[in-house]
Amino acid sequence: MGGMDLEELRLLRRARDRMDREYAQPLDVPALARTALMSAGHFSRQFRAAYGETPYSYLMTRRIERATALLRRGDISVTDACFAVGCTSLGSFSARFTQIVGETPSAYKARDHSDVQVVPGCHMMVITRPRKTGGAGQPKAGRPARTDSAADGPAAAGPGPGSPGAGGPGSSSSEEAAAPVRT
């Protein structure tokens, strides 16, 4: 991020906030670039430099994150969850869900989620946020691996900014949801 000024970061954050708010809407890079007052190419390059992933990847991670919350409730079908979060292709949604979460949407929905029913909603976003891996459980290139001991350390009480579990793109884990959060 060395070459970016604060104004450019503010504009990128504006587009990222829009993705967080309007994840179920049909958003594309040109529309998001207009939000950031940039050309589509410049926006994509700067977004990746600032956040470590493309705008599309960030948006899909947010959509999958919301879909996991819907599927945990158990009262909605995988197809309905897919369309509720703004995806238009069930096949693409299922493939991306499996890539990010590590299991199919149907398997995730069928799994017992009673262990996280005692967790306050404000903590659920952090502990269930999908974390991307580079396949076979390996972290994506350029991202530090989260070890089991890291989940037991200070990050369990609330990670600081920039840490792997800080709630940013590509953080958290389903396994962490098993530990109840005390408030």
Which region among 5-9, 50-54, 154-158 has the lowest average model confidence (pLDDT)? 154-158
pLDDT value at position 2?
54
Q: Is residue 152 part of a domain?
A: yes
pLDDT average, residue stretch 80-85: 97
Give yes or no: residues 81 and 7 share one domain. Answer: yes
Rounded to two decimals, the pTM is 0.66
Give yes or no: residues 59 and 93 share one domain. Answer: yes
Last-in-domain residue among 63, 94, 111: 111
Q: With 80 as the cut, is the pLDDT of residue 18 above it?
A: yes
Please indicate whether residue 13 or residue 116 has the higher confidence score (pLDDT). Answer: 13
Q: With 60 as the cut, is the pLDDT of residue 48 above it?
A: yes
Q: Is residue 56 part of a domain?
A: yes
DSSP conformation letters of 109-129? HHS--GGGTTS-HHHHHHHH-
Q: Is residue 183 part of a domain?
A: no
Give yes or no: residues 77 and 101 share one domain. Answer: yes
Q: Sign of dihedral through CA atoms 54, 171, 4, 33?
A: positive
Residue 172 domain boundaries: 114-178
Give yes or no: residues 11 and 37 share one domain. Answer: yes
Give yes or no: residues 98 and 9 share one domain. Answer: yes
Query: Going by C-beta distance under 8 Å and a sequence separation of 6 or more, which residues neighbour residue 91?
Result: none
CATH code of residue 59: 1.10.10.60
pLDDT average, residue stretch 1-19: 89
pLDDT value at position 127?
64
